[in-house]
Amino acid sequence: MHTEHQTIIKARKTEFCNGLIFMKNKIHTLKNKIVRIILFVMIAIVFGTTLVLNSCRLIVDRGYFIPNDSSIFTFKPTVENNGSGEWWIYGEDYTYYYAYPEVDDYMNYDYAGVELNIYIKIRKINNCPNFNKEDYKTWCDAIKTSPQAK
């Protein structure tokens, strides 16, 4: 009888330990799934947005800026300066088209020669006749703004 009792206790201990091992494996599997999901989301953000491009340009290019109405995640330059500077001339995001006009066409410097980064924007959905997203002179409802304006 004593050995039968010991056998039952041993079986329960084994069952308990197996349950702990099972739970530990479940927790480990859950942690792996969470890590994979986090990695997937991070990769999607980095490669599915313009985050990397805009971050690098903000760090490296002195004249590069993101319009206030846009985001480092959504702003995409569509036409860039042909000269030695690497700033955008035209860009877009989900809502607006942006233009950073040439200095000759638009006053982009104050009287002391300080760059103002004045740009113009227009909603992607607009009623301008003969609208061309890469010619701001066709933007009939354009809004003039600057990074300093909120």
25: burial class by Cβ within 10 Å (0-12, 13-18, 19+)?
A: exposed
Residue 11 falls inside a structural domain? yes
- Asked if the structure places residue 82 within a domain, the reply is yes
Number of domains in the chain: 2
Q: Are residues 76 and 135 in the same domain?
A: yes
- pLDDT single digits (tens) 20-70: 666 677 677 777 788 888 888 877 776 777 888 888 888 887 778 898 889
Let me know whether 110 and 44 are in one domain. Answer: no
> Which range of residues forms the domain containing residue 135?
66-145
Q: Is residue 18 part of a domain?
A: yes
Residue 19 is predicted with a pLDDT of 67
Element at 143 (helix H, strand E):
strand 143-145
Q: pTM score, two decimals?
A: 0.64
